[in-house]
A and B are shown apart, each in its own frame.
Chain A
């Protein structure tokens, strides 16, 4: 055997494969056996009675035991009785909003039990900075019997809601600039006497929008032929030029020499051209505006504003000068 084995070492992977297969079977069986038994949930009272047969064959006597009852777990209703339960779903007409927007919230409350909920109260806690648009509540098929607004809590009261009936409620909220300080998380809840209170959450992304304080920088790097600092026809842009900003941002121009940076913090922003990135070029003199002869550009970027940093360049010489 040993000799044969030695002579046929290539058989070895076959054995290994069989072993592997066996181990697979084993692990599968283990996982099957290890599976916990599914719990049996009883919905009603369980009665049990045992009996015993006593006596010789042919004359056996059946003796029943006393019946025992296993009561269902506390809270489990007897058969045929459903738990009074409401469902609430909340959506809005947008996932993101900016100050100034009016968002439409939409609520759907459904009685999924076979009991009547009366009255149904819907409470909506509006996020910070969102205010209810007065008289914007529309609902069907019922109309609210009462609308109460306390601070940012809107409470709507409806009449009886029969089994499997729904109320759809629509109302508007206005984003105020304060909304950007909140989290945009809105919790609505529905309750009725005897019913468990249910809640629904809607998260709306609040964008700064018009009250954003970041600005945008645009600009270009180009070969200036007439030394006026403006790009005219025949003055090509320089690709891959680098502009450094005072906050360390490094801006690369596109193949046409243009660049644009969003989300720039407002204030006085300074950019300068990295002459490393344009071998053979240097800043062009500006024969018309002394200010633009500077090696850097200072712009006042207002919040949400747009500012421009243009760099005119011209072929250079004398790079070895101290």
Chain B
């Protein structure tokens, strides 16, 4: 285990406190949010639509332009509208529809980086929307993967030489932060430690940064007061911890999003990278926290190493469909939480770069860990702690690969050593006493045991039998890495139930040479550790060697833009293909000449899959319109059916009968009538490019 960090922390603890830094640092104004939020805004604050036009920062000045600080104070109601200059007032429009204020950005091109010199005022007005996607130049179309939002334009960072602990502090319900790049927020060493700095800090009454002598006496925190807890804060489409240039920032941020005290916060579609500490960390309360479709890459570089660390109350929280990759500790670490969390559909790989922890470490009960991919971890996959009591954690339908430990590891016998809280304690012996249930994760549910380490298959099927806890559901897994007795569970094959006697049996269609393992789940206790791997022998008793899984190169990079299937400027298609066929008088059958033309058309349609075809049927003007309409439909239909017979997919063709309505000329010669009796083919290029056509009338049929 690398422990270089301790040098830094030792130095930080023992280092000379830079008192001068404290004196110079804007401590006084750091308490400003507290003072502001202490004066609750009883009367409704008028809502405005505010356009930020200046990237400068500093005290509000009645000048020509609006800064973000002025906009926030205006939205908070701490800066009256009439304190603005007329030019500034022109950038503010009152909103009357009852919605919250909106802050949009019209920064001059090239001046889109807001360098803060001080903490921004805490957002205390509900439903404020801070929308960085309104800035010109934001390319919403550039998103390929929802986990990797397009690069923001508006950047929120710290002025060089300054120290600002937090980017945005949110203390009100329903605030939305969208489309910003926020990085560089941290604190330096000082006489005392500081409260956790972060890019976005969600809490009512955010604590002051430190306890310097200049900080006025504090009222006691009331973290448990529910009426002040911000609800439903949304953080989306931001880049946290990295500038829009996608470079490693000069000053890394401390934490990404600190969900210190909030309910139902939503963190979705963000890129969260390069933080010293966790990307997302909860504090006192994070009930209903939704973390979905984020890319959480390379965090925990010099601090709390886990990518997502949930502590405190987390009832109803969900972590879904995130990419958690290349972080220094666990991907997800639930540290003594209260309440259950759902961890679903995440890709958790290449973590544990600095601390060889498990990919997911779970304390507490009733968590559900389903449908994740967990791999490439220098530790076990999922560890369930023995202390505090952790039961009924269901871990199913996950895929594991390249682990250094068990796929699922239940800490047993009340083990609470250092390693037990980081990488578990390895395979458990079978339960030999009822007391084991008390002192083992997931109620000490026994791992299934196969009756044999080798099963002989017949053909492609093999009958696997074994024993598990009575009444449990046994998920049988394929193991593709067979170098250990406990290979990672690669892929679930099927699920069977263990009978009342604990016996289970499954007929599997797996090729000889496969390796199998299994886990048992019981809703009363949770999911077990995996069974030792059993091999499937060929009918003659031999064990064929299956090809090893493909080697994967470690990568957390955003997906490459897909190879443009269509050229950026597709070449116009030149079709030297006839676009009509002709028919005999009052006939709708395909002549031999017409068939040749249709063959050409079919060839073109099969060659260029982006072409679609409309078949317009026409007649000459003789006979009634209704008759001709039906005749034209018959003609188009005949042509269509011929093309279908040639293999052209019917979904790419459409029949349009025109009857006698669209003659080619007003003449009444036999030649003109012959030209009118036709089916026209209208090609459409789905790429939106015009087609160059060549006309023909080789199959004209005179009467």
Contact = CB atoms under 8 A, between A and B. Distances in A.
A283 B189 CA distance: 13
A236 B306 CA distance: 17
Interface string B298-326: 00111111100101110000000000000
Interface size class of chain A, counting residues whose CB lies under 8 Å from the partner chain: 35 or more
A295 interface: yes
A319 B5 contact: yes
Nearest to B217: A288
Contacts of B414: 255
Contacts of A223: 311, 335
A113 to B, nearest CB: 61
Given A275-B10, A279-B355, A319-B302, A287 B218 contact: yes
B6 A282 contact: no
Interface string B4-36: 111011111111000000000000000000000
B313 A234 contact: yes
A322 interface: yes
Interface stretch (B276-284, B289-297, B465-473, B529-537): B276-284
Contact of B312 (A234, A285, A286, A288): A234
Nearest to B205: A226
A315 B421 contact: no
Contacts of B9: 275, 282, 316, 319
A313 to B, nearest CB: 9
A228 interface: yes
Contact of B304 (A280, A286, A288): A280
A31 B475 CA distance: 71
Contacts of B276: 317-320
Interface residues of B, number: 68
A227 interface: yes
A220 B13 CA distance: 20
A1 B104 CA distance: 113
B303 A316 contact: yes
Given A280-B303, A280-B305, A315-B278, A320 B5 contact: yes
A96 B517 CA distance: 60
A18 interface: no
A288 B218 contact: yes
B416 interface: yes
Interface in A286-322: 286-288, 290, 293, 295, 314-322
Contacts of A234: 223-224, 284-285, 312-313, 338
A135 B301 CA distance: 78
A281 B329 CA distance: 13
B417 A321 contact: no
Given A284-B193, A321-B8, A315 B13 contact: no
B183 to A, nearest CB: 13
A315 B301 CA distance: 13
A277 B303 CA distance: 13
A318 B190 CA distance: 13
A276 interface: yes
A236 B421 CA distance: 14
Contact of A239 (B5, B284, B387): B387
A83 interface: no
A203 B343 CA distance: 66
A279 B422 CA distance: 11
A316 B276 CA distance: 8
Interface string B634-662: 00000000000000000000000000000
B186 interface: yes
A315 B11 CA distance: 17
A228 B305 contact: no
Contacts of A277: 418
A227 B8 contact: no
B368 interface: no
A224 to B, nearest CB: 10
B207 A295 contact: no
A169 to B, nearest CB: 52
A276 B10 CA distance: 9
Contact of B208 (A255, A287, A290): A287
A321 B189 contact: yes
Contacts of B313: 234
Contacts of A282: 9, 12-13, 193
A293 B218 contact: no
A279 B194 contact: no
B254 interface: yes
- Most chain B beta-carbon neighbours within 10 Å: one of A225, A228, A254, A276: A225
B449 interface: no
B549 interface: no
B211 interface: yes
B277 A316 contact: yes
B44 interface: no
A281 B306 CA distance: 12
Interface string B407-428: 0000000101110010000000
A316 B193 CA distance: 10
B197 interface: yes
Interface string B185-202: 011110111111100000
B454 interface: no
A193 B277 CA distance: 90
A284 B209 CA distance: 11
A236 B335 contact: yes
A240 interface: yes
B373 interface: no
Contacts of B388: 255
Contacts of A281: 304
Given A275-B9, A316-B303, A227 B207 contact: yes
B3 interface: yes
A279 B305 contact: yes
Nearest to B306: A280
Q: Which 8 A-B pairs have the closest CB atoms?
A: A317-B303, A317-B276, A319-B5, A236-B336, A317-B254, A280-B304, A226-B221, A293-B192
Interface of B: 3-6, 8-15, 186-189, 191-197, 207-208, 210-211, 213, 215, 218, 220-221, 223-224, 254-255, 260, 275-278, 281, 283-285, 300-306, 309, 311-313, 329, 335-336, 338, 355, 387-388, 414, 416-418, 421
7 contacts: A223-B335, A226-B207, A285-B192, A287-B210, A320-B276, A321-B189, A322-B15
Given A225-B312, A234-B284, A285-B210, 5 more contacts: A225-B223, A239-B416, A314-B196, A319-B303, A321-B11
